[in-house]
Amino acid sequence: MPLPKSVRRFSRGSDVNELPFRPALQSPLHDFLAPKSIAVVGASTDPTKRGYKAMLGLIKDGYPGAVYPINPKIDMVLGVKTFPTLESVPGPIDLALICTPAKTAPGLMEECCRKGVKGAVILAAGFRETGPEGAKLEQMTLDTARAGGVRIIGPNTSGMFNLHHKVNLLALANVKPGDIGFISQSGNMLLSLALEAEHNGHVGFSTYVGPGNQTDIGFNDYLEYLGEDQNTRVATFYVEGFRDGHRFLNIARKVTREKPVVVYKSGSTEQGKRAASSHTGAFAGSYEMTVDLLRQFGVSVVHNSDEILPVAEGLGLMQHAHGKRVAVVSDGGGQATIATDRLTEAGLELAQFSENTRRRLAAILMPQASLVNPVDVAGSTDANPALLAECMEIVAADDAVDAVFLVGMFGGYSIRYAEHLLGGEMRGAESMIELANRVDKPMVIYSLYAPIKPPALRRLHEAGLPVYSSIEHAVRLLAALAERGAYLAHVADSTPVAGVSSIATIEGIFARARAEGRDLFEFEAKALLREHGVAVPAEEVVSDASEFAGIAGRLGDGPLAMKIVSKDILHKSDVGGVKLDLRGEDALRQAHEQIMASCRSRAPLADLRGVLVTPMAKKGVEVIVGVMRDPVFGPVMMFGLGGIYVELLKDVAFRAIPLSRYDAQSMVNGIKGHKVLDGLRGEPAVDKEAMVDLLLKVSSIAAAYPQLAELDLNPVIAYSHGYAIADARVIVDQAATMDHAAS
Amino acid sequence: MPLPKSVRRFSRGSDVNELPFRPALQSPLHDFLAPKSIAVVGASTDPTKRGYKAMLGLIKDGYPGAVYPINPKIDMVLGVKTFPTLESVPGPIDLALICTPAKTAPGLMEECCRKGVKGAVILAAGFRETGPEGAKLEQMTLDTARAGGVRIIGPNTSGMFNLHHKVNLLALANVKPGDIGFISQSGNMLLSLALEAEHNGHVGFSTYVGPGNQTDIGFNDYLEYLGEDQNTRVATFYVEGFRDGHRFLNIARKVTREKPVVVYKSGSTEQGKRAASSHTGAFAGSYEMTVDLLRQFGVSVVHNSDEILPVAEGLGLMQHAHGKRVAVVSDGGGQATIATDRLTEAGLELAQFSENTRRRLAAILMPQASLVNPVDVAGSTDANPALLAECMEIVAADDAVDAVFLVGMFGGYSIRYAEHLLGGEMRGAESMIELANRVDKPMVIYSLYAPIKPPALRRLHEAGLPVYSSIEHAVRLLAALAERGAYLAHVADSTPVAGVSSIATIEGIFARARAEGRDLFEFEAKALLREHGVAVPAEEVVSDASEFAGIAGRLGDGPLAMKIVSKDILHKSDVGGVKLDLRGEDALRQAHEQIMASCRSRAPLADLRGVLVTPMAKKGVEVIVGVMRDPVFGPVMMFGLGGIYVELLKDVAFRAIPLSRYDAQSMVNGIKGHKVLDGLRGEPAVDKEAMVDLLLKVSSIAAAYPQLAELDLNPVIAYSHGYAIADARVIVDQAATMDHAAS
């Protein structure tokens, strides 16, 4: 079967030749996910039992290895002789499928260890998910397995299959071997994709695993395995929750250079589970953060469940596009408009054709055709559908085109217009296949006839050119191809910036704060920044009114701001602890008196250290720069529009620390509000380079001080040159030690 | 065939009994969209021609009326005797399908007139869409038809069908008669829906029309017709552009009380086509505005093309939900989570079950089941799928539930688990059908087995309970049902507020501005508002510095703002025409000098009238209130967050003028940023009643002064009590006369 060029290109190796990661089959999972022998513990003659179904799946699919049904009470299952125990099996056992109830697990695991079984799938529920008793049972099983070197899939799992090795332990009918490796925390989601694939008729799977309770093997191990598995061209995950997300990202960083990784993360609307002290901290564990971090490491995130299979199929076949400029070729104006709308919404661009391309199109199309993108053949192909392939060839030859999107009724000409057009459609399909083999640009096909699968569409699909029945799904794929292309293009220069060492005086500041069980004062937070090269406005902490003398000489004669300094006051404004726009020493003294009086009366128990005086920041664009330690993904930076809009708009970008320069740039340019940074309504653009520099410095600081639990610079006022940090807040991790920095 | 209660309910008449609109078959389109006799002009024996296909469609579908093929050159088409001309036909002709080229149209139209044909479908292209020559041909044809009382569908149309009357002029195979009336500016979109429907197997169509160039009959007429058509239970439109959108809204207002109207509007990402003088005017013709106005009149707008059929099918069958509280019943945790995510994103709510409901669920489900919404049966139904119907019945009986959403693998138990479960599935399906007949709440079913159509799902679908293969599509339907329910619930109190009469002094202000060819000065715009009862800050226009004397007594002793008054200066800040935060008469005099000097030097040709002095507005939430005259939809109000965020976020709501109180309330509560109005981070909520009052007053003003082309109040500073209008801009329509007000 001829495959399009993009497919063959992949099997020759990736475009990114200088990458350190080369699969060396280091994952121990190969031994039992592609087993040479399988024991089915609890094999059964009852057709409703998993111990029967698994046997049936192995036999029907023609599994070539040894199969050992284990059941002391019966002699044969489906004509295969049973064994009373694992140990009574004559040969070695790579994989044991355990179909018996939870309480049998520890005993069976001991048997597995004695027999030298490499991996066991424990299907039963009744472990950790049911409470403390079950958790004990699970821990006992795990301890036994660890001691004996047996790896565990599950427990509480729907099972696994590896179709290229004919290991179909789920006995799913009508699934075919194919490119998609799938790890799913929902068994229903596997069934759903399998049925969609059956309906699709062309897409297939490599390995499926339900990780279940992940007592031993977890997402990270499966990702590593799928990254190495030669039969998997796209690693696909349905994830309800990550445990060690930090490690997942680090493995994804390697795998995504070689092949696409697709993640659907459920729980997009779950409420945050902890009350955070900072604005940034409030986003910990959020869906938005998770998506940004996954994308940072090249993962293709899909947001709708019905997009998982279309996107995975297309990424598996075509891998990536070199850019986001799409050429649309269409035989119906209406659907060309829909395609244009969806492409634009997805952040893709309509390619601008060269003069030559337009001339070549004009030479083969009727005068009423539209030669600018989207191309509308306007009837030119009614009598000759193969002309669509010629249009695709012409636009694909244009250097300004990164991907070609055929939109309309191809495949249905012979049904709608005249039967004799079938020949032209088949010739057109062959030309498209030949074109896809020759040109290193994805060809994505939407046809309104896809639901009824006419011959030309079947031929395209068979040859590895997927055919979509939804414009929306086809565009999601085009977006994923372009996003992956952009990732691969910049991945070489995504080295994190060099770290910095902590400074003794700052360590002292943290130590004092901890000793007093408090967070950093604003002036301390600013000292931390200043010591590490961040521009911080001049300021003075004043505890006695006499210190105002001559302050204009030190802070300039512009208007000043004054804020209370107290470890006990979180919301300074609420207790009258802030005065703005102060001019002259008299005003300062009066404000000082008022602040102290107000705080004493409204926060009588607060320890008042004095006031911080600093020049008022000039007007500019308010942004927020933040740091948090996500319990799952580790240290994370945040950037976005500041002020009250942080919470309202959630227009913020996240990246795992340490940042590369590319990361910082993509944060600044990636927020929806980036137009504000570029200068709305004739305002000057802000100094984005200064923002990038600030992000990189804060990233280094966060890496150097594990005691820094959360940081909010909010607002930072961004100007056309530089910025002013108008407020700085550092939450101290009262427990963290230097050891944490290593994790 | 038993239909669910919701279906029968509809045929008994709508819930909204007190509505003025009752179908009386007033549309003249019935005469020829359900014709008793049809002539096919250009009937042909060539199977690739429309003149053959139409004959085939009529004969194959068993059209019971008279069919007259017209062709002077041949004797018979498909065994039917031809006539040389329309006039040679013995009986009357209700509908003529004209398959001949464009140039024959005027002559044929004369024939139609003489013959007394009621309506003609002109398929040919080659009219207005091709240029001035074609436009002349079209006008000539139209003039002839108008003179003779013949109505025209098209020209340049894909044609029409009316399947309940067996009028299948498109000769589409495998489309069935059904609920969906469809008017589409894209012929491909009809084909696409027809093929989706064929694949779906259960959904069908009533009337389809391609309006083509709409030379005579347009969207508005078709909407009226579908509103009256007894076979149409949902009127569905694919629209590339409205011509008289104002009238469309007024007809939709009537039709949507009786039946759902679904609109897909293409061009969602098109750039605005005109440079506007005001912020509000910049949104004229925008997709966002169009969607808001359609929704204001009860239209269900779908945003993705692959949602048109699922939403239309479900709305046709179930019409509406009484609220947005959905009960999810699921047999798989993963898909329950996906459903929850999508429901929440769509603005729906998970119903809170009563104690009784939870008790009843507990009585039939296993202990590990989740009894809070979403219900997860957690294996309880594995051996008895009919139990899912019992769960649905229990939650449907809860007063806190408005709709029931079944999510999971129903229909596939007999495939996945054991064949003998088929009986239980069929019993479950019958119970669900019976439940739907009895309970006035929509039942929406997603099954991962939908793609392969097992028996229980076929049974449900046949009985009028649609089965979806995408959670996302099912949720779009649930959202449309709830939105329609909310519309019907408030439609009774959506009477527009009473109008106001214009005031002579304000007419004078407009007249002066027009005479000088300028827009209103800010102080004039504020006078307009003040005269009509809108609270406007005190202000003075000063042309001589001496007038500052004693100003504190008149404007208060707070800080003042000063702005240049000049018809020639649009962007006051850009020429140094604005000074803020002025205290004391000295500061005012100095600012005045500076403003005048700066404006004289930077806008030397500008006519400077003086400066406007007004108290600085206190801090609050900045919003924008605007008016524009949309060329298609007429006068429109806008409300949203103000300042620079208007353009950036486009978080604005639109309503056609005149507003009802409900409209104004839904604008204030409907913007994404409504959380800011409710008080973010402990800020007090703004005075929403005052906002509503302001919107209603401005609506009345816009209706009373047709000379007012555009209005921007930006920003209006909203407070916990009242508001301050910090800037007001009125663009004067230099051409409008009082006559415009009537349109």
Tell me the average pLDDT of chain A: 91
Q: Please state, in angstroms and as integers, the Cα–Cα distance from residue A370 to each residue in A33, A384, B273, B645, B685, following that order.
A: 53, 17, 20, 37, 53
Q: What is the mean pLDDT of residues A204-231?
A: 97
Partner-chain residue, chosen from A335, A417, A649, that has the shortest CB–CB distance to B48: A417
DSSP code string of B453-510: --HHHHHHHHTT--EES-HHHHHHHHHHHHHHHHHHHHGGG-PBPPP----HHHHHHH
Tell me the ipTM for this assembly.
0.91
Cβ–Cβ below 8 Å for B266 and A334: yes
Alpha helices in B14-104 (DSSP H): 30-33, 50-60
Q: What is the mean pLDDT of residues B536-546?
A: 91
Cβ–Cβ below 8 Å for B418 and A47: yes
Q: Are strands B160-162 and B167-168 parallel, antiparallel or unpaired?
A: antiparallel
Q: Is the pLDDT of residue B333 over 70?
A: yes
Q: Please state, in angstroms and as integers, the Cα–Cα distance from residue A460 to each residue in A428, B74, B486, following that order.
A: 10, 42, 46
Count CA within 13 A, CB hemisphere, residue A539.
28
Q: Is the pLDDT of residue A256 over 80?
A: yes
Nearest CA in chain B to A645: B676
- pLDDT bin (cut points 50, 70, 90) of residue B24 is low
| Cα distance between residue B126 and residue B213, in whole Å | 11
Query: Ranked by mean pLDDT, which of A615-619, B22-26, B76-80 comes out on top?
Result: B76-80
Q: What is the pLDDT at residue B2?
A: 40
Q: Is the pLDDT of residue A600 over 50?
A: yes
Q: Contact, B63 vs B56, CB < 8 A?
A: no
In chain A, how many H helices and how many E strands?
A: 25, 30
Amino acid at position A455, single letter: P
**Cβ–Cβ contact A448 with B under 8 A:** yes
Cβ–Cβ below 8 Å for B187 and A473: no
| Closest CA–CA distance from residue B242 to any residue of chain A (Å) | 14
The CATH architecture annotation of domain A30-314 reads 3-Layer(aba) Sandwich (3.40)
Q: Contact, A25 vs A228, CB < 8 A?
A: yes
Nearest CA in chain A to B264: A338
- pLDDT bin (cut points 50, 70, 90) of residue B16 is very low
| Closest CA–CA distance from residue A700 to any residue of chain B (Å) | 31
- pLDDT bin (cut points 50, 70, 90) of residue B328 is very high
B408: tokens are 């999971």
Q: Please list the residues that pair with B234 across neighbouring strands.
A: B180
Q: Contact, B392 vs B382, CB < 8 A?
A: no
- pLDDT bin (cut points 50, 70, 90) of residue A693 is very high
Q: Contact, A374 vs A329, CB < 8 A?
A: yes
Q: Please list the residues that pair with A629 across neighbouring strands.
A: A635
Amino acid at position A128, single letter: R
CATH T-level fold of A321-493: Rossmann fold (3.40.50)
**Cβ–Cβ contact A268 with B under 8 A:** yes
Cβ–Cβ below 8 Å for A268 and B335: no
Spatial CA neighbour of A292 closest among A628, A711, A52, A690: A628
Q: What is the pLDDT at residue A719?
A: 95
Nearest CA in chain A to B421: A48
User: In terms of pLDDT, which residue wins out, B17 or B603?
Assistant: B603
B213: tokens are 């160039």
User: In terms of pLDDT, which residue wins out, A642 or B353?
Assistant: B353
Strand order in the sheet with B205-209: B167-168, B160-162, B205-209, B177-184, B234-239, B261-265, B300-302
| Cα distance between residue B690 and residue B725, in whole Å | 12
| Cα distance between residue B548 and residue B582, in whole Å | 12
Alpha helices in A204-307 (DSSP H): 219-228, 245-258, 287-296
Is the link from the previous residue into B155 a cis peptide, with omega within 30 of 0?
A: yes
* Least trusted range by pLDDT, from A213-222, B390-399, B562-571: B562-571
Q: What is the mean pLDDT of residues A290-311?
A: 97
Mutation target vs B (from A128, A172, A182, A188; most B CBs, 10 A cutoff): A188
**Cβ–Cβ contact A644 with B under 8 A:** yes
Mutation target vs A (from B170, B195, B279, B366; most A CBs, 10 A cutoff): B195
> Angle, to 10 degrees, between the axis of helix A522-531 and the axis of helix A688-704?
100
Contacts of A423 (CB under 8 A, 6+ apart): none
Q: What is the pLDDT at residue A489?
A: 94
| Cα distance between residue B428 and residue B461, in whole Å | 13
**Cβ–Cβ contact A304 with B under 8 A:** yes
**B residues 352-411 lying closer than 8 A (beta carbon) to A:** 368, 379, 408-409
**B residues 18-37 lying closer than 8 A (beta carbon) to A:** none
- pLDDT bin (cut points 50, 70, 90) of residue A736 is low
Q: What is the pLDDT at residue B601?
A: 92
- pLDDT bin (cut points 50, 70, 90) of residue A12 is very low
Mutation target vs A (from B239, B648, B678; most A CBs, 10 A cutoff): B648
**B residues 320-339 lying closer than 8 A (beta carbon) to A:** 331-335, 337-338
Cβ–Cβ below 8 Å for B305 and A338: yes
Count CB atoms within 10 A of the CB of residue B570.
12
Spatial CA neighbour of A635 closest among A663, A662, A668, A614: A663
| Cα distance between residue A729 and residue B237, in whole Å | 54
A630: tokens are 């996500």
Q: Which residues of B touch A647 (CB under 8 A)?
A: 675, 680-681
Q: Contact, B397 vs B443, CB < 8 A?
A: no
Q: What is the CATH number of domain B322-493?
A: 3.40.50.261
Amino acid at position B340, single letter: T
Q: Are strands A95-98 and A37-41 parallel, antiparallel or unpaired?
A: parallel
Q: What is the pLDDT at residue B699?
A: 97
CA–centroid distance for A457 within its chain: 32
Q: Contact, B206 vs B164, CB < 8 A?
A: yes
* Least trusted range by pLDDT, from A31-45, B19-33, B213-227, B414-428: B19-33
Q: Contact, B617 vs B717, CB < 8 A?
A: yes
DSSP code string of B381-445: TTT-TTHHHHHHHHHHTSTT-SEEEEEE-TT-HHHHT-GGGHHHHHHHHHHHHHHHHH-SS-EEE
Give the domain ranges of chain A: 30-314, 321-493, 538-615, 621-742
Cβ–Cβ below 8 Å for B305 and A266: no
Q: What is the pLDDT at residue A742?
A: 38
Q: What is the pLDDT at residue A30?
A: 94
Q: Which residues of B touch A199 (CB under 8 A)?
A: 451-452
DSSP code string of A629-693: EETTTEEEEEEEE-TTHHHHH--EEEEESSPBHHHHHHHHHHSTTHHHHT-GGGPPPP-HHHHHH
**Cβ–Cβ contact A126 with B under 8 A:** no
For domain B621-742, the question of CATH label 1.20.1440.130 is answered with: no
Helix, strand, or coil here: A96? strand
Q: Is the pLDDT of residue B19 over 70?
A: no
Count CA within 13 A, CB hemisphere, residue A125.
8
Helix, strand, or coil here: B158? coil
| 3-state class percentages of chain B: helix first, strand second, coil last, to nearest 5 | 40, 20, 40
Q: Please list the residues that pair with A710 across neighbouring strands.
A: A731
**Cβ–Cβ contact B263 with A under 8 A:** no
**B residues 496-555 lying closer than 8 A (beta carbon) to A:** none
Spatial CA neighbour of B176 closest among B459, B462, B433: B462
Nearest CA in chain A to B338: A266
**Cβ–Cβ contact A682 with B under 8 A:** yes
Q: Which residues of A touch B268 (CB under 8 A)?
A: 341, 345
| Closest CA–CA distance from residue A232 to any residue of chain B (Å) | 24
Q: Is the pLDDT of residue A743 over 50?
A: no
Cβ–Cβ below 8 Å for A645 and B644: no
Q: Is the pLDDT of residue A684 over 90?
A: no
Query: Percent of chain A having pLDDT more than 90?
Result: 80
Q: What is the pLDDT at residue B4?
A: 44
Alpha helices in B165-244 (DSSP H): 187-200, 219-228
Q: Contact, B106 vs B144, CB < 8 A?
A: yes
For residue range B476-522, what is the model confidence (pLDDT) as tens digits?
999 999 999 999 999 877 788 888 999 999 999 999 999 999 999 99
**Cβ–Cβ contact A475 with B under 8 A:** no
For residue range B451-466, what is the model confidence (pLDDT) as tens digits?
999 999 999 999 999 9
| Cα distance between residue B14 and residue B11, in whole Å | 8
Q: What is the pLDDT at residue A271?
A: 63
For residue range A90-145, what is the model confidence (pLDDT) as tens digits?
999 999 999 999 999 999 999 999 999 999 999 999 999 989 999 999 999 999 99
For residue range A334-343, what is the model confidence (pLDDT) as tens digits?
899 999 999 9
> How big is chain A, counted in residues?
743
In degrees and rounded to multiples of 5, residue A239 shows phi and psi of: -120, 125
Count CB atoms within 10 A of the CB of residue B672.
15
**Cβ–Cβ contact A451 with B under 8 A:** yes
Q: What is the pLDDT at residue B683?
A: 78
Cβ–Cβ below 8 Å for B191 and A368: no
Q: Is the pLDDT of residue B410 over 50?
A: yes
Q: What is the mean pLDDT of residues A305-320?
A: 97
* Least trusted range by pLDDT, from A92-96, A216-220, B128-132: B128-132
Partner-chain residue, chosen from B238, B470, B648, that has the shortest CB–CB distance to A676: B648
Beta carbon pairs, A and B, within 8 Å = 166
SS (H, E, C) A25-72: CCCCCHHHHCCCEEEEECCCCCCCCHHHHHHHHHHHCCCCCEEEEECC
A711: tokens are 């940081």
Q: Is the pLDDT of residue B568 over 80?
A: yes
Q: Please state, in angstroms and as integers, the Cα–Cα distance from residue B566 to each residue in A224, B19, B39, B520, following that order.
A: 70, 52, 68, 10
In degrees and rounded to multiples of 5, residue B404 shows phi and psi of: -115, 135
Q: Contact, A646 vs B681, CB < 8 A?
A: no
Q: What is the mean pLDDT of residues B62-72?
A: 97
For residue range A514-567, what is the model confidence (pLDDT) as tens digits?
999 999 999 999 999 999 999 999 999 999 888 998 888 889 888 999 999 998
In degrees and rounded to multiples of 5, residue A451 shows phi and psi of: -60, -25
A286: tokens are 């959020």
Q: Are strands A728-732 and A708-718 parallel, antiparallel or unpaired?
A: antiparallel
Q: What is the pLDDT at residue B274?
A: 53
- pLDDT bin (cut points 50, 70, 90) of residue B737 is low
| Closest CA–CA distance from residue A211 to any residue of chain B (Å) | 13
Query: Ranked by mean pLDDT, which of A684-698, B553-567, B577-591 comes out on top?
Result: A684-698
Alpha helices in B116-238 (DSSP H): 132-148, 187-200, 219-228
Mutation target vs B (from A338, A343, A575; most B CBs, 10 A cutoff): A338
DSSP code string of A332-380: -HHHHHHHHHHHHHTT-EE----HHHHHHHHHHS-TTSB-SSSEE-TTT
Partner-chain residue, chosen from A199, A240, A448, that has the shortest CB–CB distance to B192: A448
Is B538-615 in the same CATH topology as B322-493? no
Q: Is the pLDDT of residue A176 over 50?
A: yes
In degrees and rounded to multiples of 5, residue B130 shows phi and psi of: -105, -5
Q: Which residues of A touch B451 (CB under 8 A)?
A: 195-196, 198-199
For domain A538-615, the question of CATH label 3.10.129.10 is answered with: no
**Cβ–Cβ contact B241 with A under 8 A:** no
- pLDDT bin (cut points 50, 70, 90) of residue A3 is very low
Q: Which residue has the tokens 């793609």?
A: B451
Q: Which residues of B touch A185 (CB under 8 A)?
A: 334
**Cβ–Cβ contact A267 with B under 8 A:** yes
Spatial CA neighbour of A279 closest among A725, A731, A733, A675: A731
